Chain A
Amino acid sequence: MPSNLETADNPKKLERVVIEPLTRVEGHGKVTLLQDEDLHIKQARLHIVEFRGFEKFIQGRPYWELPVLVQRLCGICPVSHHLAAAKACDMLVGTTQLTATAEKIRRLMHYGQTLQSHALHFFHLCSPDLLFGFDDEVRHRNIVGVIEDSPEIAKQGVLLRKYGQEVIRVTAGKRVHGTGAIPGGVNKSLSQEEVRYLQKDIDQIVQWGQDAVELIKRIFFEQLDYHMAFAAIDTNMLGLVGANGEFDIYHGGLRARDAQGGSIFDHVDYTRYSDYLREGVKNWSYMKFPFIEALGEDAGWYRVGPLARVNNCDYFSTPLAEEQRKLFKEAGHGRPVQASLAFHWARLIELLYCAEAIRELLLDPDLGGTDLLNKGELQGTGIGVIEAPRGTLFHHYEIDDDGIVNRANLIVSTTNNNQAMNESIRQVAGMYLDGKQLTEPLLNQIEVAIRAYDPCLSCATHAMGKMPLEVVLVNEQNEVVDRLEKRITGDIQRTYP
């Protein structure tokens, strides 16, 4: 059930605190908190305030342009959109089975992008929170602080990112606007020189992946009770799993489990997603609120992404990641791990998996194969689903007889987590802010809760990010009574009165 902090009884009589926009979260979103005169939190919402529809951007274009076109929806997740669109186009061109070379090259690309995305999030965006604590001085609590205090960790983050980007460049053909995946397959295989180039550093990458998992475990267990309780919410979890229940972020069936780990549905053909999922709307946010139809809007919302995937899968196919999954599972004591900060832990297990999977793939001779395409009869509907770094990503297109897109529906990872992010900030607001004066460290805890999901509001809103942070306090007459501003330098200044 959504918490009782979603809508206050008498919101006009309450003071409103606005955190706008969020730092370390791309796109334009804001959090509003309404307090009564005793400083109790009565309402908490994550708003999406700007939206430009992607349908208009996509409709009227020929389907074969989609894998390249959709990369431009978001500068943060171009490869995820590239691959999801390519899978949808596979269905459009009647491909029921990719060639071995095509599937393995796409997987390599996907592992590379997931590795670099997770590396950025942990080493760059969230490790300051985790390494220094939420009450640390703002100016120190960023990547500079990480570099100053732990230069090797920061350098590993840079080099992990670089390695992942090189995997993308080699498989997609270019650093950006890659054309690697095309309807029905891929447009190039890997030369032996390219394979050797990527093999050169992969053992180091795997080692850094292991080190990263050990680091997050040490951080997590140092304050286990706090990390398990912070922004923890009991939720359903959704994601793809392989045919045998194994972890798979490129292809598989949909699995949904409830908060206790019980099955809601399993191995569902993702092309039938609309039989199982619905998208709710609320009049205070442009971002939709997906839910499992059988459970209804109030009980059917769910989480996607690393936390859901590591909880939901039965095993990892690579040994080091599987060993870490078992340890992760023990932390749940027989039920799914529900701590929102465990997203970070799960994310790094996935990073390790990707490093191992890349190493295995680089030994596979199919990467150099020449059988790249497999096509059948053109179809009117194409649906592609992948597990993007941030969670399940749905691309659904309808085309006319000339191959022109006349309908598009995309459910991006961040939208899938919309209700959960709202619930997490309500939990934090209720636990840490209620009855207290608002301060920057306290407000930062709201952002920490949201950052755990690694949301991409750029994907969800298709708006560009605006970064300075403004906190505004408004009274019941809608008059500004206080304002805090986080400047580009990171300084916090009270700018009102």
Chain B
Amino acid sequence: MLQHPAKPELVFTWGNPSRGDDGLGPAMYELLLQEDLQGVDLLTDYQLQIEHAIDLEGRKHVLFVDASISASAPFELVRLRPEQDSSYTTHAMSPQALLSVYQQVNDSSPPPAWLLSIRGYEFGLGEPLSTEANRNLLAAFNHIKTLLGSEQPEEQT
């Protein structure tokens, strides 16, 4: 089935750039694109869906990046485990649910994965990133660059 050669590290961001701070994920994608990142694939989408399980295949580590309305500022980083939560039943999945789909479909454990949640505040259609969210974005960006230079991320909240 269709698949491109996978680099060992994957940073997967998601969100809608036209919905205010929901665009934090895509904004991180744009920042990381400017970096000379070796061995790292960057992907972005409006939201997570079942087919993204295929994007996880062949990875050493996966870092998901999303906006959050409840995370502590500037961001939170947590290790993810496959979880069969109710986001299976929506048009948009949680990363934990995606890991679970990977596990079920491939009959093997997904790669180690983390979620970096950047605190956002305003999510209205047509709004730009808020000032506070921009500040949080830069803090998260610096942390991701550090992570990508290390062997394995540590949880940080």
**What is A's interface to B at a CB cutoff of 8 Å?**
23-24, 26, 52, 54, 56-57, 69, 72-73, 75-76, 78, 116, 120, 124-125, 128, 139, 142-144, 147-148, 151, 154-155, 157-159, 161-163, 165-166, 175-177, 197, 200-201, 204, 456, 458, 462, 464-465, 467-468, 486-490
**Distance in Å from the Cβ of B117 to the closest Cβ of chain A?**
15
For B16, the closest partner residue in chain A by CB is A75
Identify which of B1, B2, B17, B90 contacts A72 (C-beta below 8 A): B17
A144 touches B88 (CB 8 A): yes
- In the bound assembly, the distance between CA atoms of A78 and B47 in angstroms comes to 12
Q: What are the interface flags for B31-69 relative to A under an 8 Å C-beta threshold, 1 for contact and 0 otherwise?
A: 000000000000111110111011000000000000000
Q: Which residues of A contact B16 (CB under 8 A)?
A: 72, 75
A162 touches B126 (CB 8 A): no
Q: Which residues of B contact A165 (CB under 8 A)?
A: 51
Of B54, B124, B125, the most chain A CB neighbours within 10 A belong to B125
B2 touches A163 (CB 8 A): yes
Given the contacts A52-B125, A158-B50, A162-B1, A489 and B22 also touching, CB distance less than 8 Å? no
For A169, the closest partner residue in chain B by CB is B2
A78 touches B46 (CB 8 A): yes
A154 touches B104 (CB 8 A): yes
B101 within 8 A of A: yes
**Distance in Å from the Cβ of A150 to the closest Cβ of chain B?**
11
Beyond A72-B16, A73-B18, A488-B86: 8 further Cβ-contacts under 8 Å? A23-B90, A24-B89, A73-B125, A143-B88, A144-B104, A158-B54, A162-B2, A465-B92
- In the bound assembly, the distance between CA atoms of A242 and B87 in angstroms comes to 39
Q: Which residues of A contact B88 (CB under 8 A)?
A: 124, 142-144
For A121, the closest partner residue in chain B by CB is B91
10 cross-chain pairs, A with B, having the tightest CB-CB distances, nearest first = A75-B46, A72-B18, A161-B51, A162-B51, A147-B104, A57-B126, A26-B91, A142-B88, A490-B86, A143-B88
Q: Which residues of B contact A147 (CB under 8 A)?
A: 101, 104-105
**What is B's interface to A at a CB cutoff of 8 Å?**
1-2, 16-19, 22, 43-47, 49-51, 53-54, 84-92, 100-101, 104-105, 123-126
Q: Which residues of A contact B2 (CB under 8 A)?
A: 162-163, 166, 197, 200-201
Given the contacts A159-B1, A161-B51, A464-B22, A490 and B101 also touching, CB distance less than 8 Å? no
Given the contacts A72-B17, A76-B91, A201-B2, A158 and B85 also touching, CB distance less than 8 Å? no
Identify which of B51, B91, B105 contacts A465 (C-beta below 8 A): B91
Given the contacts A120-B49, A148-B104, A201 and B1 also touching, CB distance less than 8 Å? yes
For B50, the closest partner residue in chain A by CB is A158
A124 touches B46 (CB 8 A): no
